[in-house]
């Protein structure tokens, strides 16, 4: 249990330091500050071998290896990558650490920000996810601040939407806006 808190605290501290340094240097202020941007809910690491990485993380965290699944083809989840429809898919798994979810992603096709990251940077933390209250307003504010949308789609469960903004150069990670649909 203690190791999970330490890992979460270290990841958050690293992100906050990077974000504050970027803000001091060149990042413009946002016109709209969604309250959801105050809490990281997901840390995502892109990996080459999800089975191996899952075993290593499970061992470190003292948890069982969670289910690994493959996402549906892009056309089924309205996936768009760099402005064009994508058929991109990824293998993924989630470790629920309480205050944050650790997501592991292994790209299995072209046409995704995950594959682009792996090709350019190798394995590592690709994005931080924030569950935002107003995804449209927050996304528009990020675009106006100079952070274009690079990847978006529906959750595989079709009960929410994700939007990735190109913040890697400015913040050291991609910012993901998560928004779940209202319960029916």
At residue 182 the predicted structure's pLDDT band, cuts being 50, 70 and 90, is confident
What 3-state class would DSSP assign to 78?
coil
Count up the domains in the chain and report the number: 1
Give residue-wise pLDDT tens across range 148-162.
999 999 999 999 999
**Could you list the residue range(s) of the whole structural domain that residue 68 is in?**
2-180
Whole-angstrom distance, CA of residue 34 vs CA of residue 131 = 10
Residue 101: strand pairing partners: 42, 96
How high is the pLDDT of residue 151? 98
Q: Are 116 and 90 in contact (CB under 8 A)?
A: no
The set of residues, in sequence order, having a beta carbon less than 8 Å from that of 69 and lying 6+ positions away, is: 91, 92, 93, 156
Q: How confident is the model at residue 183 (pLDDT cuts 50, 70, 90)?
A: confident
pLDDT of the residue at 1: 47
Which residues is 174 bridged to in the sheet? 127
Q: Over the stretch 53-77, which tens digit does the pLDDT of each residue have? A: 999 999 999 999 999 999 999 999 9
* pLDDT for residue 12 is more than 70: no
pLDDT of residue 31: 74
CATH at 43:
3.10.180.10
What angle (nearest 5°) sits at the alpha carbon of residue 148, between those of residues 145 and 152? 135
Q: What is the DSSP letter of 90?
A: E
Does the pLDDT at position 22 exceed 50?
A: no
């Amino acid at each position: 249990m203690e190791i999970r808190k330490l890992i979460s605290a270290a990841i958050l501290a690293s992100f906050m330091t990077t974000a504050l340094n970027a803000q001091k240097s060149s990042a413009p202020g946002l016109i709209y500050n969604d309250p959801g941007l105050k809490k990281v809910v997901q840390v995502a690491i892109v990996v080459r071998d999800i089975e191996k990485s899952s075993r290593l993380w499970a061992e470190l965290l003292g948890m069982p290896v969670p289910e690994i699944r493959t996402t549906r083809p892009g056309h089924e989840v309205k996936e768009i990558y760099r402005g064009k429809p994508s058929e991109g898919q990824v293998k993924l798994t989630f470790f629920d650490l309480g205050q944050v979810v650790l997501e592991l992603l292994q790209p299995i096709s072209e046409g995704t920000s995950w594959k682009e990251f792996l090709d350019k940077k190798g394995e590592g933390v690709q994005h931080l996810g924030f569950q935002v209250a107003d995804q449209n307003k927050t996304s528009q504010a990020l675009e106006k601040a100079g952070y274009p949308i690079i990847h978006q789609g529906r959750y595989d469960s079709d009960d929410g939407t994700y939007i990735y903004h190109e913040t890697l150069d400015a913040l050291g990670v991609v910012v993901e806006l998560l928004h779940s649909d209202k319960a029916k």
